[in-house]
Amino acid sequence: MIDKKVISNLIYLLDDSDEEVVEQIESKILSFGFEAIPFLEEASLTEQEVLRLQRMQNIIRELKKTEILRDLTFWKQHESDDLLKGMLILERIEYPHTDFQSIHNQLDKIRLDAWLEFNYDLTSFEQIKIMNYIFFKVHRFKGNAEEYHDIKNSCISQVLENRTGNPVSLGIIYSLIAQRLNIPVYGVNLPQHFVLGYKNIDGLEILKSFNDESSLSHDDNNEVMFYINPFTEGLILNGDSIKSFLKQLKVEAKPEYFNICSNVDILKRVMRNMLFSYEKVKQHEKSEIIQNLLRSI
């Protein structure tokens, strides 16, 4: 437990003219860890001394960077089955005050709208047809081609607010809603374009067509029955479509490009997108945070 008087005294000394003294004070405050953040934030609200305020803000940033690294490392080790939680940890880099409960409420609202259209006799394609209708027509999600590399496309709160995103963020939200409906839709880490896969849970053959049954192949050795492109309003793809795409890229058709990937892999992909976005606008401090996170996981 931090003594408020002790940290208040340390904060007061942050405007010392001796750099060595300031370094020692900063080191002491940093040693308190994340518990020091509320005290620093409260003090910064009324601080009028510019130098002291700047130094407080620097300490807050350092503590938050360490906090995000700690939380993401813990997530990878113990909570990686919760993709949304991992995404919300990354969200704090750009939007530290996001209302996480609001995110859950918005996802539940979309889930409820889809659930009201469901019944117990739907085939896999009928499930996805309803999902596509609710997600892309009713709630009007779409790919953000105009501002493809904007950082907001990698942040769940902004994609939910603006209804636009990149293939990864749209795919994440789509899959989170599907999984809340017990629909086995997961990420597929395809090079240069993230897609979703409908997982073959019980090995049953496809019973009904969606776009064109003849265009859909079912490989018993493949855990994915078919693919969904979240950037093109849920267009259904088969294995041959994926092979053709890889051939265009001149990329070897490795098995992992056809099967679902882990949540850790998805978060790595999100972080690489964020890194590109930050480097594009020369936000070097945030680029450094992402680089450290990528190294850590």
pLDDT for 212: 37
d(CA 150, CA 165): 9
pLDDT at 216 over 70: no
154 burial via Cβ count (<10 Å: 0-12, 13-18, 19+): buried
Q: What is the pLDDT of residues 231-243, one digit of tens each?
A: 999 999 999 999 9
Q: What is the pLDDT of residues 97-122, one digit of tens each?
A: 899 999 999 999 999 999 999 987 89
Q: What is the pLDDT of residues 139-151, one digit of tens each?
A: 999 999 999 999 9
Compute the average pLDDT of residues 182-194.
95
> Is 249 in a helix, a strand, or coil?
helix
What tokens does 105 get? 């409420």
pLDDT for 215: 34
Compute the average pLDDT of residues 84-105.
94
Q: What is the pLDDT of residues 17-56, one digit of tens each?
A: 898 999 999 999 999 887 888 889 899 999 889 999 999 9
Report the interhelical angle of 4-12 vs 37-46 (nearest 10°): 50
> Which pairing describes strands 164-165 and 142-143: parallel, antiparallel, or unpaired?
parallel
CA 258 remoteness from chain centre: 21
Q: 272 versus 1: which is more confidently predicted?
A: 272
Q: What is the pLDDT of residues 151-167, one digit of tens each?
A: 999 999 999 999 999 99
pLDDT for 190: 95
pLDDT for 222: 55
Domain ranges of the chain: 4-79, 98-296
